[in-house]
Amino acid sequence: MVVVAMVWIRGGELQIPSLRCGMENKKAEEWKERRGMKTIRIVAADDSAVMRGLLTRMFATEQVGAMAPMQLCAAVPDGASCLHAVRTLHPDVVLLDLHMPGLGGLEAIVRLRQEWPCLPIIMCSAATADGAAATLEALAKGASDYVTKPMGTMDAVAAMEALWGQLAPRILALVQREAKVPVRRDGAPVRLRGVQVEAVGIGVSTGGPAALERLLTGLPEDFPVPVLVVQHMPKLFTSALVARLDRCCAMRVRQAAAGVALFPGTIWIAPGESHMEVRMGAHGVPFLVLEQGEGLHRCTPAVDVLFRSMAEVFGSGSLGLVLTGMGADGVAGARAIVEAGGSVLAQDEASSVVWGMPGRVVAAGLAQAVLPLDRMGRELVAMSSVGRCRRVAAEMEARYECC
């Protein structure tokens, strides 16, 4: 028996269908027309029989009117069985639990990456402090993305819907079945060194923790402007991300708090479930504001909210970086920065886990440069040095080269 599950894209927005039954005849006809599409094959590893059963039931629920069928090829209880299943079944995606007997999730990631460097791996993580820290370690070791397991208090239907809502868009994005975004090619990327940068804003989603670690660890302790980061993550996970980055970065890394004044040498990360904005204080010192408003693009925090506020406060001194991630968050904010005279850099497709957010910024003609992640840090240091002491600028660039 072939088991399938479905999602579709309508009007440019990803639609997540309900797992409940009751299909219309028109959608059933659409299903018949699309059954011939290539199936996304999935292997799942989790030591919990309940979780394996939940995944099996979820993927066995037919979703009519879908863009891409998904088949759960195997649900196994440990990392060793997962490796064997991947070798024999050649899946498109692996779902992996962190804590399993024998070969655990972290060790399995290392082994999987040795044999299949580009195979998408999605971690299924517990929504706990320990689970958040372990998830970040898994992402650093090569996992592509993560989802949080349903709460134990949910009934089966609610649990399946919660998990499906997280998994479906991630699977589609990671197997690159979203339509390619057209890239403007009407001019070569410009190396911007003309305006003094007053603040750096970074927006990132899928693949973000590893990208942030690579980028931010190269910045010197006396980096001359504040750095503001929006990473699409729940609050528990952003707290773990702050702790991890603070251990490995020369700059101070802090979770944003309402009313905090912005000064150079600190990286501020927006907490999950709160939008982060910048306002100008009465004495000319910018400070942070946190708002628990509705999500933009289903995201709280949202990159657009941060970038728009930066454009209002810092104007042409705003520098926005849009890194790896799925969706369109950051496009409107990048436009606000550009219209205020600021600059926007986008990560290139080759170094992105998913080229959704940066790709859309590029397609809109808002990126002054499209750069690989490794080069972006060097450019960030160079641009932030404009208008400042030449000796200090040279020392900063030299220190980055050493990193």
Terminal alpha carbon distance of the chain:
53
Write down the catalytic residue from 329, 348, 351, 385. 329
Question: Strand 318-322 and strand 121-125: pairing?
Answer: unpaired
329 is catalytic: yes
Catalytic site residue 348? no
Per the annotation, the verdict on 232 as an active-site residue is: yes
| CA-to-CA separations, 189 to 32, 142, 192, 344, in angstroms, rounded | 46, 30, 9, 11
Rounded CA Rg of the chain: 22
CB-based burial label for 111 (10 Å; 0-12, 13-18, 19+): middle
Please, what's the b/e burial string for 174-194 (b: 16 or more CB within 10 A of its CB; e: otherwise)? bbebbeebeeeeeeeeeebee
Alpha helices in 200-329, H assignment, sequence order: 208-216, 235-248, 303-314
CA distance 149 to 131: 10
Question: Could you say which of 81, 125, 144, 205 is catalytic?
Answer: 205
CB neighbour list of residue 357: distance below 8 Å, 6 or more residues apart: 203, 204, 205, 303, 322, 323, 324, 325, 326, 327, 328, 329, 330, 331
Cα 363 from chain centre:
19
> Could you tell me which of 123, 230, 104, 131 has the C-alpha nearest to residue 170?
123
Q: Which residues are catalytic?
A: 205, 232, 329
